[in-house]
Amino acid sequence: MAVRKVVKFGEDILRKKSKPVKHFDEDLWQLLDDMKETMYKNDGIGLAGIQVGVLRRVVVIDVNGLSAELINPKIIMSEGEEIEEEGCLSVGKFSGRVARPYKVTVEAQDRYGYPFTITGEKLLARCLCHEIDHLDGILFVDKSLDKDKFFKSVR
Ligand code: NI
């Protein structure tokens, strides 16, 4: 296992769309292990492959002790809305309010390719949505109610 470098805001790759994972092999497992180590090292609660420079639809999370690896994740149900502060390891110190679903169900595959679903509320739902956005090149600052403040600060 190894801690990988986290891609920061401003690097073009963060805006790219990640491709589906087709091979559930040792390269994937190594990536997942490294992503978890990188997430824990940086005190994060979620990390997407793109954040370590890998354009594959891969996410790891650890929210309140619930850890999961999600390959090719897709939101299949969402309900409600909640506005809370959010941050991102790729964005740095800035945090801002984002409206997210209160509850989501996500369909994904595990590291061996077996399908499963995960349902989460509040912070877990927020984390799942945030990470899945990364796979489509979307950052929380794009959706933040405080985005003017952020984009002014980086201009
Ligand atoms: Ni993020």
CA of 88 to the centre of ligand 1 (A): 4
pLDDT in tens, 89-115: 999 889 999 999 999 999 999 999 999
pLDDT in tens, 16-25: 999 999 999 9
Is 7 a member of any domain? no
Is 53 a member of any domain? yes
Residue 118 bridge partners (DSSP): 106
Q: pTM score, two decimals? A: 0.96
Quote the CA–CA distance of 146 and 144 in Å, as a whole number. Answer: 5
Is 18 a member of any domain? yes
- Give the residue numbers spanning the domain of 103: 12-153
Is 32 a member of any domain? yes
Q: What is the pLDDT of residue 155?
A: 73
CA of 76 to the centre of ligand 1 (A): 21
Is 50 a member of any domain? yes
Of all helices (H) and strands (E), which one includes residue 27? helix 26-41
Q: Taking a C-beta distance cutoff of 8 angstroms, is the pair 46, 63 a contact?
A: yes
Catalytic residue among 69, 84, 121, 131: 131
Is 111 a member of any domain? yes
Quote the CA–CA distance of 147 and 153 in Å, as a whole number. Answer: 10
Tell me how many domains the chain contains: 1
Q: What is the mean pLDDT of residues 80-92?
A: 97
CA of 41 to the centre of ligand 1 (A): 15
Residue 62 sits in a domain whose CATH number is: 3.90.45.10
- Is 131 tagged catalytic? yes
